[in-house]
A and B are shown apart, each in its own frame.
Chain A
Amino acid sequence: MLTEAQERTLAAVVDRVVPPDETWPDSGWPGGVEAGVLDYLREQFRRDLADLVPHYRRFLDALDAEAAPATFADLAPEAQDALLRRVEQGDVRATGGWGNDLAFAPQFFRRVVEHVAEGFYTSPAGRRMVRFEAEEAAGVTA
């Protein structure tokens, strides 16, 4: 569905949209990748997001082109964040993968962010992090 390079870029994006806590894994909460967001997205690419897979490919390729000569995944987290902030603001170069439709970058990034959040906040880690399940209430009358 995605090339190995695209998968690698996607993993890096997922972990910047929901980064691991700085204290992780000693304490705190994992980032999106470790919480299972890539598995969530792979499933969705076969299901509800199937129509968006070509857009994902284009977006991930363009991110790598924007990061050239490095790849996005090879950048330091701070540089990745800086690049994504530029994408968010539409401050991207017409060369590379975006083509002439520069509005695609911020618009599609917003969708990627929502998809990643869907994966994270429905995952066991995301649910435990916010304390959705009430450990103290669940056993009251059970």
Chain B
Amino acid sequence: MTTKPRYDAVIVGAGAGGGIVAGVLAEAGKRVLLLERGRPLSFPEVGRDHLRNQRLSQYGNNAGPDGPDHPRVFVSRANGRARVVLPHEGGYSNNAACVGGGTLVYGGQAWRFHPLDFKMASTYGVPAGSSLADWPITYDDLAPYYERAEHEIGVAGDASRMAHLPPYARDYPMPPVTPDTASSRTFGRGAAALGWRTLPVPLTVNSVPYQGRPACLHCQHCVGFACPVDAKNGSQNTLIPRALVTGRCDLVTGAMAERIERDTSGRVVGVTYWNERDERITVGAEVVVAAGGAVETARLLLNSGIGNPDQVGRNLQGHCYSGAHGLFEHEVVDGQGPGVSIATCDFNHGNEGVIGGGLLADEFIPLPIVVWKWHTPPDLPRWGAEAKAWMRDNYRRLMRIQGPVQDIPNPECRVTLDPDVRDRWGIPVARLSGGTHDETVRTAAFLHGKAVEWLKASGAVRVFGGPPGHSLSAGQHQAGTCRMGDDPATSVTDRHCRVHGHDNLYIGDGSVHVTNGGFNPVLTIMALAFRTGEHIAKSW
């Protein structure tokens, strides 16, 4: 075991959250070590393999992790059977592992959560079998940090159209990426006929040159891939380079964290990790920030014996997606990337008879093989001339309207340590078990109905695809496993994302989300990371 010099802060995970905390701390004058188990990846390294990417990982991933080094165990909700799964396989709930994490290859939908998303229990009550709770902070507490993320990461949108939110203090720094597409025209007409409000989807994509990088080329490989001209904004091209340029941040990649170290009094003193030469290193720090995503952060805490052992790993949630497909007589896909262009937030709350809701939006430009696998009508033959002709005639006439349903947290949906399976370094792996709460499935059925209504009002000549059933939703939107709260008995961190009982251990990712909104969660992860970084810089 080698011991390295002490840092002010060691951050485990260089994704949306960890990368931002690193930037904020380094700019505040702190000496920072940023550990990332993946590597920095260039556009050619990520590539454009339609079968091995963050959207469709049929045979592998393009932004890590990959191969046999990082197994997990998935327990089927249906039959209770446990099986070892690799990162590209169903049930693994992978998110990218590289510098930037998911933000290198995401679609970049940059939503603020709704004010009521922070007050779910007091708005709706607590359904039986759920752990639904209010956040200890409010929308107003987070609004300045949302704004900071929008400007410092770079979001394109139109604040005047965000009618479901309180007025913004500042508009987005860039106008919408694709204000006018065949899809936005079609669904804009449909929504107008229904009397629904719509808005352009805010994206972490440059619609105009911004922060020294160019505007989007409108290519077809956005979600799931890296950007050829670096017009997609994440931590890898904003806060991480800002951290490095201070000279106070060391970024170590290929670094697999094993445990958070404590001294004999129980105080957190550093992190032990394996470097890419398979050397086991313990590094000391004043402050430790765990930011490996909701699955790996829970695993790291459990492997370290840190945090309320009955709470860490519970309430695992991502998003169950609900929606429907529509076929049109005219073309609704015009090939203008990224593709997602119009949404409604009229059904995030206030829906008769269901808890919460979610946004509904059109889709990213789909890979042809994704349409073939996920979006064909149930009665289409799977082979032969008719199947081929359908794809030829309908690829551009097909649109899916869908959205992330606000998960009603289930304490039985959780990350534990597998008693037997170890990763390449001998570290116990995450075991994922449990599933969606019944109320989530009910809300999903409601949103499915709204998607059907929108498709029909917009002129769809055929609508197909049913609402989702029960599953384990974590994946790229994974959250909830170290929820924040004022009561240490029912939460893992306090309102500053600091682990209860430890004044120098923080969580810097979606694990702290009490609920995950009816929105893509990344902007909330980013906003919290700015807030947490600021709190650490002030406190240490």
Contacts and interface: CB of A to CB of B under 8 A. Distances in A.
Interface of A: 16-19, 21-22, 29, 47-48, 81, 84, 110, 113-114, 116-118, 121-122, 126-127, 129-138, 140-142
A24 to B, nearest CB: 11
A84 B369 contact: no
Interface string B325-369: 000000000111100000000000000000000000000010111
A113 B382 contact: yes
A27 B273 CA distance: 60
Contacts of A113: 382-383
For the residues of A in contact with B, the DSSP-based class is helix
B367 A140 contact: no
B421 interface: no
Interface of B: 50-51, 58-60, 215-220, 334-337, 365, 367-369, 371-373, 382-385, 387-388, 391-392, 395-396
A138 B219 contact: yes
Given A113-B382, A131-B396, A137-B336, A18 B388 contact: yes
Contacts of B334: 134, 136-137
A127 B369 CA distance: 9
B218 A141 contact: yes
A89 to B, nearest CB: 12
Contacts of B217: 138, 140-142
Contact of B395 (A17, A132, A142): A132
B56 to A, nearest CB: 10
10 contacts: A16-B384, A17-B384, A110-B382, A114-B373, A129-B388, A133-B220, A134-B336, A136-B334, A141-B217, A141-B218
Contacts of B365: 132, 134
B391 A121 contact: yes
B383 A134 contact: no
A118 B368 contact: no
A126 B336 contact: no
Contacts of B383: 16-18, 84, 113, 116-117
Given A138-B218, A140-B217, A19 B388 contact: yes
B218 A121 contact: no
A114 B373 CA distance: 8
Contacts of A118: 51, 58, 369
A29 B387 CA distance: 13
A142 B384 CA distance: 38
Contacts of A132: 220, 335, 365, 367-368, 395
A116 B385 CA distance: 14
B391 A130 contact: yes
A47 B59 CA distance: 9
Nearest to A135: B335
B110 to A, nearest CB: 21
Nearest to A85: B384
Contacts of A135: 335
Contacts of A131: 335, 395-396
A116 B247 CA distance: 52
Contacts of A127: 368
A116 B387 CA distance: 13
Contacts of A48: 59-60
Given A81-B384, A118-B58, A122-B51, A134 B371 contact: no
A84 B385 CA distance: 13
Contact of B388 (A29, A114, A136): A29
A117 B372 contact: yes
B68 to A, nearest CB: 14
A110 B391 CA distance: 18
B384 A19 contact: yes
Contacts of B371: 121, 130
B365, B372, B388 interface centre (most CB from chain A within 10 Å): B388
B384 A129 contact: no
B210 to A, nearest CB: 14
Given A121-B369, A132-B367, A134-B337, 6 more contacts: A81-B384, A117-B372, A118-B58, A121-B371, A129-B391, A131-B335
A116 B371 CA distance: 15
